[in-house]
Chains A and B, each alone.
Chain A
């Protein structure tokens, strides 16, 4: 009790203040956090250690270092082709979603449109629907359209399912850009599209980047939709390939599997770090880490 009361008040952020004495609750807090941290770290460490171990097992252990697993995976045509597929799938999804979200969000933020508020509520509602579960009717639609087994048509469905949230996100970013600049450009006689291209676009770059990165991270990890809508081995993105490897007991070595999923995870971690470092104000996520 008294130890707690002696602590300085910390309303906004925790400020490091030299403790006169280390209180029991402060010790407990940090010990519990270290234990929780181990619970999160241990499963991850297995992947890192197994990837450089010449004889890995299911359990985490000190590796006998080798780079053979990495050279193995980088020499596999199926592993490389799944990276290519993931890039096409996630790249196409991201471009389509971001461009359409920007085009839709601008008038929703700036212009007078009848029933605008209802439309935004509908968009918010749509972004909460479990769209991936509609993969069964979409499969049947794609059979009729002859769209099965193409990364581009698969990306279109991924784009449609991520669009509502992307519009929502983008509109909030555009709302934050001062409207006066556009009024000035309009008074000078610039057309709507010119205002969008030369005034709004440069000011909305953080919003566009966050929307694009968010969409890319989701599409990069998407599993059930490409799993159902594509079938030829060349069109399998990373997650489906890793799933197939997990099922082929013995055909794929632990070490290779660890390397493959490690390499597949690196891009999204890098993108997330980039996003949280440069645009932390946009999400307020930084404070939890820093």
Chain B
């Protein structure tokens, strides 16, 4: 150590270079101003009675926990939270993951032309812009639309009859490719020796999946579930373009309620408070995701 002091800094270890800060600066500035800035600003106006128009748009004040107590007594907020859970659990966690896994397994065992065509169609559904998916599913579920003809009730508008089911299906339709691709990659990377051993031992297909393949895929499944939850929690475009949250408030999930409170009912403060709830839930799942993938950093 004393020797190192007389010889100057160690050369066998990388040293800090000021140029690295210079390169990090532009990105950091953008993130500080337009990422961290809005988060901190939301933490402030979420606790005020700021309005979009009228006297409260200029002369607003800090109202403490008033927005929180308002939420707890707000029937629409409670219903909206319930719909959000239904949407994320039903469409994303269960629907998207189960169908994604099913597709990945089936595609693996299908003949090549069918695999190529079906795989591509599912991926195109995922790559299409959300607004396009909203339009084609709107058309699909209208009275006189393809779905009503398939089900034999041409006068039924399924977007009015079962709105939550239709937007969940549309969302599942669009996003399932993500889980399918994640699981396909996971299945491809399984150690073939283990699978061969199970097959040689005479395990049935069902037992092989239940006792060997699914346990081996556990990390992939956990990652998929966390990502799918994070991605679907703030889903706005698809639902809003199809129903605007209606009929009534039947499809008003929290992201749509945030928009309506802020820009339809002009309650910027209360709307921000609700968006903070969403950001907090998102932060919780994001934290779980960071924990799960920490070894890769």
Contacts and interface: CB of A to CB of B under 8 A. Distances in A.
Interface of A: 1, 4-5, 9-14, 16, 25-26, 29-30, 32-34, 36-37, 39-44, 46-47, 50, 57-60, 96, 99-101, 103-104, 106-108, 111-114, 117, 120-121, 124-141, 156-157, 159-161, 163-164, 167, 192-193, 196, 217, 220-221, 223-224, 228, 238-239, 242-243, 246, 254, 257, 261-262, 264-265, 268-269, 272, 284-285, 287-290
B109 interface: yes
A286 B244 CA distance: 36
B247 interface: no
Contact of A37 (B118, B130, B134): B118
B68 interface: no
Given A107-B19, A264-B132, 14 more contacts: A26-B111, A33-B110, A34-B118, A47-B135, A47-B136, A111-B20, A124-B289, A126-B35, A133-B258, A192-B17, A238-B131, A261-B135, A262-B132, A269-B127
B80 interface: no
A161 to B, nearest CB: 7
Given A33-B118, A265-B132, A112 B17 contact: yes
B112 interface: yes
B52 to A, nearest CB: 9
Task: Give the dominant DSSP class at A's interface.
Answer: helix
Contacts of B20: 107, 111-113
A59 to B, nearest CB: 5
Contacts of A101: 27
Interface in B114-159: 114-125, 127-132, 134-140, 142-146, 148-149
Nearest to A284: B185
B297 A288 contact: no
B171 to A, nearest CB: 13
A228 B263 contact: yes
Of A32, A33, A106, which is in contact with the most chain B CB atoms at under 10 Å from its CB?
A33
A130 B279 contact: yes
A6 to B, nearest CB: 11
Given A39-B173, A131-B35, A16 B27 contact: no
A12 B188 contact: yes
Contact of B34 (A34, A156, A239, A287): A156
Interface string B2-34: 000000000001111101110110111011011
A290 B279 CA distance: 38
Contact of B195 (A11, A14, A138): A11
Interface stretch (B70-78, B89-97, B212-220, B267-275): B267-275
Contact of B27 (A104, A121, A135, A264): A104
Contacts of A133: 234, 255, 258, 275, 278-279, 282
